[in-house]
Structure 1
Amino acid sequence: MVTAIVLINVQHGRINEIAEQLVEMDGVAEVYSVGGRFDLVAIIRVKTNEQMADLVTNRMLRIDGIEKTETLIAFKAYSKHDLERMFAIGIERA
């Protein structure tokens, strides 16, 4: 599982609209509106780096109104929950 946190700036007044478009995309697990330098934070979980690259550099940037993104690739998860098991439900293992 490849996880990334994408920090997103959007056009003024379009936060809700763009968040709704993002959360409908395969691989986008969660979208948060936030305060601070960025408008939205998207949590992405996909199986491969290639899927991550396609989602971030092709599909997300096609959304009209996204002005800037910064992508943070996660190396290791520290959690009280078994995230791998939670997000592997329904995924066939090779």
Structure 2
Amino acid sequence: MITAFVLVHADADRIPETAQAIADLEGVSEVYSCAGDVDLVAVVRVREHEQLADVIAGGLSKVGGVRSTTTHIAFRSYSSRDDASAFAVGLD
């Protein structure tokens, strides 16, 4: 699974509608509104790199209210959670 974080600059008066339209796109797993240099952060998860172009350039960038985007592709995932313990629930 390929994960990309898309930083979105949006029209200030359309942020909620823009966020929902982005969240409705296939391949977008989450959208966060946030404070700071960008208005929204979208998490895109696809199986193949070629799908990134379809989701981001072909869909997300064309959503009404999106002014510009910057994409960061994740290499590895790190977590402090103990995922193995979640699978051991009920095995005692």
Instruction: Calculate the TM-score normalised by the size of structure 2.
Output: 0.84
Equivalent residue of 1:71, what SS?
A: strand
Identity across the alignment (%): 43
| Structure ID, larger Rg | 2
Instruction: For structure 1, list consecutive stretches of 5 or more residues without a partner in the other structure.
Output: 83-94
- Could you say which residue in structure 1 is the equivalent of 2:10? 10
- Deviation track 1:15-49 (CA, whole Å, cap 9, x = no partner) reads 10001001111110100000001000001111110
The number of equivalent residue pairs is 82
Instruction: Calculate the TM-score normalised by the size of structure 1.
Output: 0.82
Instruction: For structure 2, list consecutive stretches of 5 or more residues without a partner in the other structure.
Output: 84-92
Q: CA RMSD in A?
A: 1.2
- Could you say which residue in structure 2 is the equivalent of 1:57? 57
Distance 1:81 1:65 in 2: 39
Equivalent residue of 1:14, what SS?
A: helix
